[in-house]
Amino acid sequence: MKKILCLSFLILILANCNSKKLSPESDVKTWFAPCSSFSKDKDGYILGGCCYDVTIPSLVLNKNEPFHKKGMIRSRDNKGNYTETEVEVNGHLSPDGKNLYVSFVYNNNVVDHEFSIEESTMVCDCACF
């Protein structure tokens, strides 16, 4: 009887196991770069920089696929004033999901970011101008 009970318990456990293996990168919610990060937020992502953040709604990241989305940049100056401007955000996630490349044009300047899953330990002095 004990053997039947143990066997039944083992079958129950194995039936409830999820055999699908997930790679560690599939759970990545945040990538880092010196003085900035790229994080999951609701249905999109937020790129947080030193004197700005860019909200990119409805973005789905797929490994090794480029993306092109409209985003909203909210920038601040050294007086605490904020401005919001629409920007075109381009980028792609590496095949292994560990690196993320993002760029956009703001005030006629190309802003490039290269993010990784390694947290940055850099201390930033954000003198917004």
CA pair distance 88, 103, nearest whole angstrom: 9
Q: Which residues of the chain have pLDDT under 50?
A: 1-26
Paired tokens of 24: 């560690």
- The pLDDT, as a whole number, for residue 129 is 57
The reported pTM is 0.72
Question: For residues 78 and 128, is the Cβ–Cβ distance under 8 A?
Answer: yes
Q: Where are the domains of the chain?
A: 25-116
CA pair distance 23, 121, nearest whole angstrom: 25
- The pLDDT, as a whole number, for residue 27 is 58
- Using a 10 angstrom Cβ sphere, with 0-12 exposed, 13-18 middle and 19 or more buried, the burial of residue 38 is buried
- The pLDDT, as a whole number, for residue 84 is 94
